[in-house]
Amino acid sequence: MESWDDLRIFLAVLRSETLSGAGRALRMDAATVGRRIARLEERVGQALFVKSPRGYALTDAGTRLVAPAEDAERAMQGAASALDGDAETLSGQIRIGAPDGCANFVLPRVLADLGQAHRGLDLQIVALPRVVNLSRREADMAITVSPPAAARLSFQRISDYHLHLAASRTYLSGAPPLKAPADLRAHRIVGYIPDMIFDKELDYLSDLGLDRVALASNSASVQLNLLRRHGGIGVAHDFALPFAPGVERVLAGEVSFKRSFYLVRHAEDRRLDRISRFARALVQAVRSEVSRLEALAGNT
């Protein structure tokens, strides 16, 4: 049976796909990580990784080791939670994955406040314009715009949020009239790169019958900056508008979207008191922050 320390290093290489990345996560020299992996492979008598152009990829033997290694990881986290279960404050590292709009505009204040309340916590935001892969432990939990389909994942709805068409006042002052959705075809449209929309809930423009995106990005934050720079009209999160002075909602009475945020975790993590307590605090704080920012957007 391999030690937890061996499995911890194995999982770090799996998740970072490089020795240097694993070393940073473990606060260990990359050469030491490489020696430890080689020693583990020697003990089990099989190669666990093969070097690929993308980094270190699992062999068949390595793939078979993932599930027991993650079981050991959860057991160690559970032991730590049991010892710390009655403490008022939380500690340790927690990594949250989120779509870049949520990560840029909602989570900074939320996690800054939680960090102030729990000084022992090291909080990390993984902002990705795609779904965070919890199975590879890219994060401890993720905020998503759709509930997951995988059976090993649990989820809860955090809150609804709203989106509207928006444009800068400068753009609108020199653009063709905009009195109805049909007028949108005369305008430059800002939106997602069509073949990089990672969730059907983000395909807003199809609902409007718009098939050309003049300025596109796979990032909601970049799209908002394109609107700020007078690039055209696009769909913007209401919670992001307070960060974009000079950008205002248009056709708000005719066009609006409502979506939901979900908090997704490994089902087994519900048994970990520390993670569960943090999840409860995070859900409440995100709800409050979305509500606060949307109220500000309504006054802009």
Are residues 268 and 120 part of one domain?
A: yes
- pLDDT of 133 reads 66
pLDDT tens for residues 24-43? 878 888 899 999 999 999 98
Are residues 268 and 153 part of one domain?
A: yes
Which CATH number does the domain housing residue 91 bear?
Answer: 3.40.190.10
Write out the two tokens for 174: 């020199």
Return the residue matching tokens 């000079």: 246
Write out the two tokens for 221: 């934050």
Lowest-confidence region among 57-61, 138-142, 240-244, 253-257: 138-142
Q: How far apart are CA 243 and CA 247, in angstroms?
A: 9
pLDDT tens for residues 175-184? 999 999 999 9
Which amino acid would we find at residue 103?
A
Are residues 283 and 222 part of one domain?
A: no
pLDDT tens for residues 154-188? 889 999 999 999 999 999 999 999 999 999 999 99
Asked if 239 contacts 294 with a C-beta cutoff of 8 angstroms, the reply is: yes
Q: How far apart are CA 51 and CA 13, in angstroms?
A: 11
Are residues 100 and 69 part of one domain?
A: no
The total number of structural domains that make up the chain: 3
Are residues 267 and 152 part of one domain?
A: yes
End-to-end CA distance of the chain: 61
Which CATH number does the domain housing residue 20 bear?
Answer: 1.10.10.10
Write out the two tokens for 147: 């509930």
Q: From residue 44, how far is each of 60, 65, 99 by CA, in Å?
A: 13, 10, 39
Residues in contact with 270: Cβ distance below 8 Å, sequence separation at least 6, in sequence order: 154, 276
Residue by residue, DSSP assigns the chain as ---HHHHHHHHHHHHHSSHHHHHHHHTS-HHHHHHHHHHHHHHHTS--EEEETTEEEE-HHHHHHHHHHHHHHHHHHHHHHHHHTT-SS-EEEEEEEE-HHHHHHTHHHHHHHHHHH-TEEEEEEEE-SS---GGGTS-SEEEESS----TTEEEEEEEEEEEEEEEEHHHHHHSPP-SSGGGGGGS-EEE--GGG--SGGG-HHHHTT----SEE-S-HHHHHHHHHTT--EEEEEGGGGGGSTTEEE-STTT-EEEEEEEEEEEGGGGG-HHHHHHHHHHHHHHHHHHHHHHHHHHT-
Range of the domain at 26: 4-83
Are residues 265 and 229 part of one domain?
A: no
Instruction: For the full predicted model, state whether its pTM sits above 0.85.
Output: no
The confidence band for 86, taking pLDDT boundaries of 50, 70 and 90, is very low
* Residue 141, pLDDT above cutoff 70: yes
